[in-house]
Amino acid sequence: MAGKYLRGALISFTESFPLPIPNLILFQYNPEQLTHNWTPSQTSQVGPQGTGNPLAITGEPGENFSFSVFMDATDSIADDGPIGEALGTVSGVATRIAAMEMLLFPTASDGSGLIGTISAAISGGAAPDPVRTVPAQQLPTVLFVWGPGRILPVKVSALSFTETLYDSLLLVPTHAQAQVTLQVLTTAEVAHVDGPIGMLAQGAYKYTKTVREALALANLANAVASVAGMLPI
């Protein structure tokens, strides 16, 4: 069944010249369960003697996802092809684990890291100009893709692995489970992402918000008749 259904993914972007290079972490198996948490926006401070609006809020509600990702080297993804199969034989699921771990490490603005150097080589250009105003210790921008209606810029707020089986020769993990928690970036946080990556993150956030609003509007239309019968006026 591998390769015959839509899979979720995490897409991280590394600064490179002239365009950022995406690193696709495709879920081998879609999580059977997603926990979607919301934290209400903070209320504004009420002024002296109770002045001000106690219902006024500041900022946006917090949003995060948590789920489990299963990895199995013996059941390779069909899209991997010969190269992916060879890597799976040698490294098990260690490459997928490492790719997810790198989402927690800051990316250097000068592209001096290994992935940044490889990305620049792939794109045919040099590393970015070090005078660019990109923070030296900024986390990589990650897109959480869960179907065409949910594409969000996120950062990994919690990550843990449980390795259950190992290769007998190299002791590389062949079966593992990852517990992932993703914090959705707010518009204020996305505004600090520069360049094409920032534009992509902002576009993804606005797109998903538009889809949510359209679905809410559709539900409102369906509920008009029911609400009319419930109100005493």
Neighbours of 224 (CB within 10 A): 8
pLDDT of residue 140: 84
Angstrom distance (rounded) from CA 103 to CA 158: 11
DSSP character at residue 130: T
HSE-CB at 231 with a 13 A cutoff on CA atoms is 7
Q: Where are the domains of the chain?
A: 9-38+62-221
Per-residue pLDDT tens, the chain, 233 aa: give them: 445 788 999 999 866 655 667 889 999 999 999 999 999 887 766 666 656 677 777 778 899 999 999 999 987 654 455 555 555 567 899 999 999 999 998 876 544 455 554 444 444 554 445 454 444 567 888 999 999 999 999 999 999 999 999 988 889 999 999 999 999 998 888 888 887 888 889 999 999 999 999 998 888 777 666 666 666 66
Q: Is 108 helix (H, G, I), strand (E, B) or coil?
A: coil
pLDDT of residue 86: 55
CA dihedral 154, 158, 162, 167 (to 10 degrees): 50
Angstrom distance (rounded) from CA 24 to CA 12: 7
